[in-house]
Amino acid sequence: MDPEDLFSTNLIDGTIASRIERQHRSRPSVIVIGAGISGVAAARSLYDASFKVTVLESRDRVGGRIHTDYSFGCPVDMGASWLHGVCNENPLAPLIRGLGLTLYRTSGDNSVLYDHDLESYMLFNINGHQVPQQTVIEVGDTFKRILEETGKVRDENPDDMSVSQAISIVLDRHPELRQQGLAHEVLQWFICRMEAWFAADADMISLKTWDQEHVLTGGHGLMVQGYDPIIKSLAKDIDIRLNHRVTKISSGYNKVMVTVEGGRNFVADAAIITVPLGILKANLIEFEPKLPDWKVSAISDLGVGNENKVALRFDKVFWPNVELLGIVAPTSYACGYFLNLHKATGHPVLVYMAAGRFAYDLEKLSDESAAEFVMQQLKNMFPDACEPVQYLVSRWGTDPNSLGCYSYDLVGKPTDVYDKLRAPLGNLFFGGEAVSLDNQGSVHGAYSAGVMAAENCQTHILEKQGQLEKIPLVSLRHEMLETSIPLQISRM
């Protein structure tokens, strides 16, 4: 009998528990909830260490917020697309090297303004007039100055405030930094780019922590072949049950019982929870016993942002050969930009990216209306723009499997929120991007968080079974991938 069937009665009585105990004694078992990068990384580590691993995934695909779509005939990442930190210290570097994947670097180490260098922009106003590059550079410098000045505001104020509040204080103190007319619109565009980094509006972003992230060196690189090969490689041979939406997690008797939609139960020695923070915030999974108050507070004290993409495939390229085509406007909400995938991958694809409240508003439109809206923006810049052959629209904010795109620090976030989020509860362990030690909101952060949760889970189980000394905790597979093959980077 399959161990999970033993629990179809929904009861963990002494008899059943002891039978399960006997079945599992030889090989420790773990259920991983969620088959995003964090879940598959956790599962991979455990599988390579000879644990019995079952991954339960609500969607009909693996990858989660990594979703490389191939319907255009070329890879288009509708979720994560950049590797933040193109360097050997990036935990994903061994995998990327081993799989021979190429990176297109959109910015180097000195890029202050997020994942693009200033020279790769071409900006237009709402009437389609190109913004002189000199204005872009000058306002970019002013924006850096404003951000530096917000550092002083932070030092003076013990209490946290939003980045937009701090910018207002700086502009009141330094009227010479205020911009007028077109320059004001360009400044709003830089704020829009900042908001895209956090996937939240500037009035939601914490002044205390916005620049405190430990960013890896090497700049930012687009995954030319998409992120999907990494997921596929990690997921190879793992028992992943798609269309298994977890509704309840019960822990006790040194066992965890996980219930999926439809009532089927799965049982293991421990579970690793890697569902997005948005799912935990929405209480879509019942915990038995209930999560302690400190865990519930940690879940609510961290923010989840939203970002959406509208990808357009054309049959010819009618736009200039730059990486970003931006639209400046009087407010950051009304600004926008397209990522030119043609420059990075050679395919005639533009990807419009929207973040924060605007990303939620975009989800209120049908796919067709979203594509029309975006095309109108493009036609303002290029009146001769042709219609797209195909389009794709993401809906990360309302997708019941994600409910947001990634976590960010809310104003006034308690300092120990990450420690509390990642803290295990008996035989329940927590992975996912939001519990990453240093790089929340990223793929490599989610990966490391999954590996770390797996290591903690392994140690916990082996300690309980008195086997800690007998089994090595190191996964051989990753050591094998530590080769001297260099990262393949275009646009150095």
Ligand X SMILES: Cc1cc2nc3c(=O)[nH]c(=O)nc-3n(C[C@H](O)[C@H](O)[C@H](O)COP(=O)(O)OP(=O)(O)OC[C@H]3O[C@@H](n4cnc5c(N)ncnc54)[C@H](O)[C@@H]3O)c2cc1C
Q: Which residues bind ligand X (CB under 6 A)?
A: 33-39, 56-59, 64-66, 79-82, 84, 245-246, 274-276, 279, 284-285, 307, 309, 396, 401-402, 405-406, 432-433, 441-443, 446
Question: How many contiguous H segments (helices) and E segments (strands) does the chain have?
Answer: 15, 23
Residue owning tokens 């306002």: 139
Pairing of strands 488-490, 52-56: unpaired
For residues 409 and 303, is the Cβ–Cβ distance under 8 A?
A: yes
Instruction: Quote the least distance from Cβ 434 to ligand X, whole Å.
Output: 7
What does each C-alpha distance from 128 to 123, 157, 189, 238, 377 come to in angstroms?
9, 42, 15, 51, 9
Q: Per the annotation, does 360 bind a ligand?
A: no
Task: Indicate the residue among 37 and 370 with the shorter CB distance to ligand X.
Answer: 37
Rg of the chain over all Cα atoms, to the nearest angstrom? 24
Q: Per the annotation, does 408 bind a ligand?
A: no
Task: Indicate the residue among 18 and 243 with the shorter CB distance to ligand X.
Answer: 243
| Among the listed residues 274, 269, 246, 273, the one whose alpha carbon sits nearest the alpha carbon of residue 259 | 246
Instruction: Quote the least distance from Cβ 22 to ligand X, whole Å.
Output: 28
Residue 9 tokens, joined: 């009665």
Task: Indicate the residue among 310 and 443 with the shorter CB distance to ligand X.
Answer: 443
Task: Indicate the residue among 167 and 291 with the shorter CB distance to ligand X.
Answer: 291
Instruction: Quote the least distance from Cβ 350 to ligand X, whole Å.
Output: 16
Q: Per the annotation, does 246 bind a ligand?
A: yes
Cα distance between residue 230 and residue 165, in whole Å = 40
Beta bridge partners of 31: 54, 271
Instruction: Quote the least distance from Cβ 144 to ligand X, whole Å.
Output: 22
Task: Indicate the residue among 39 and 75 with the shorter CB distance to ligand X.
Answer: 39
Q: What is the DSSP letter of 442?
A: S
Cα distance between residue 237 and residue 232, in whole Å = 10
| Among the listed residues 25, 162, 22, 12, the one whose alpha carbon sits nearest the alpha carbon of residue 467 | 25
Instruction: Quote the least distance from Cβ 45 to ligand X, whole Å.
Output: 14
Cα distance between residue 415 and residue 406, in whole Å = 19
CA dihedral 257, 260, 265, 271 (to 10 degrees): -30
Residue 295 tokens, joined: 């865990």
Q: What burial letters (b/e) apply to 229-244, b meaning 16+ CB within 10 Å?
A: bbbebbbeebebeeeb
Instruction: Specify the amino acid at residue 161.
Output: M
Task: Indicate the residue among 76 and 186 with the shorter CB distance to ligand X.
Answer: 76
End-to-end Cα, the chain, rounded Å:
57
Task: Indicate the residue among 139 and 393 with the shorter CB distance to ligand X.
Answer: 393
Task: Indicate the residue among 135 and 308 with the shorter CB distance to ligand X.
Answer: 308
Instruction: Quote the least distance from Cβ 96 to ligand X, whole Å.
Output: 12
Instruction: Quote the least distance from Cβ 31 to ligand X, whole Å.
Output: 10
Instruction: Quote the least distance from Cβ 260 to ligand X, whole Å.
Output: 7
- Please report how the helices 228-235 and 37-48 are oriented relative to each other, as an axis angle in degrees rounded to 10: 30
Cβ neighbours of residue 251 closer than 8 Å, sequence gap 6 or more: 257, 271, 288, 289, 425, 426, 427, 428
Q: Is 265 helix (H, G, I), strand (E, B) or coil?
A: strand
Task: Indicate the residue among 124 and 337 with the shorter CB distance to ligand X.
Answer: 337
Instruction: Quote the least distance from Cβ 123 to ligand X, whole Å.
Output: 21
Q: Which backbone phi and psi does 404 adopt, to 5 degrees?
A: 135, 175
What are the binding residues? Answer: 38, 246, 352
What are the binding residues for substrate? Answer: 352
What are the binding residues for FAD? Answer: 38, 246
